[in-house]
Amino acid sequence: MTTARRGRPGYDLESLLQVAVKLFNERGYDGTSMEDLSRKLGITKSAIYHHVPSKEELLRLSVDRALDGLFEVAASTEQLDGRAIDRLEHLVRGSVLVLADRLPFVTLLLRVRGNTKVERSALARRREFDRLVTDLVKQAEAEGDVRPDIDPAVAARLLFGTVNSLIEWYRPRRGSSGAELADAVCKMAFDGLRA
């Protein structure tokens, strides 16, 4: 079995994870076996198990890469002073940057359905994040900075619906940056498309 490794570059955990998340996104987590991953990497399954104990651990590391990014933005948002609407905009902008920077990981996170312990835990963290967003919208509305004619829970869902929908079409390219994308999202969501 070691012949499969001959002449191939070695993998560290990071490069293994990059390949795993790509495969999970293409075939679904349930539809991807360690056998598939070993074939894709051109290394043996035991070489993979040298880095991670299980497929579920690869899933955990992948969704945590996305969730940790989002919660770092949430933590930096909570450090800010000032009005809730500005903190909300900071949170939206930062979330788009995380999505653009960690696209395959965020894509996987958003497709998680809750069949395993890792998935259920990821869904729980997503709900926690969503509560932060809803709380900020409510606070901004209480401060008179968000229009009162949209339900704050609906506004929060629309906001992050817009952000999350980026995984369907955004592909990083030279000449287009996550910052421009974040700008466009914030312009539309906070001030509207209308001139």
Smallest distance from a copy of itself to CB 20, Å? 21
d(CA 96, CA 37): 29
Concatenating the DSSP letter of every residue in 86-108 gives: HHHHHHHHHHHHHHHHTHHHHHH
d(CA 129, CA 123): 10
Nearer to a copy of itself, 69 or 152 (CB): 152
Determine how many CB atoms are found less than 10 A away from the CB of residue 151.
Answer: 13
Nearer to a copy of itself, 6 or 171 (CB): 171
Nearer to a copy of itself, 41 or 89 (CB): 89
* Positions in the binding site for a copy of itself (CB under 8 A): 85, 137, 144-151, 154-155, 157-159, 161-162, 164-166, 168-169, 181, 184-185, 187-195
Smallest distance from a copy of itself to CB 81, Å? 19
Dihedral (CA of 155, 121, 37, 9) sign: positive
Smallest distance from a copy of itself to CB 142, Å? 11
Nearer to a copy of itself, 128 or 151 (CB): 151
Q: How far is CA 72 from CA 23, 61, 76, 92, in A?
A: 26, 16, 6, 13
Smallest distance from a copy of itself to CB 193, Å? 5
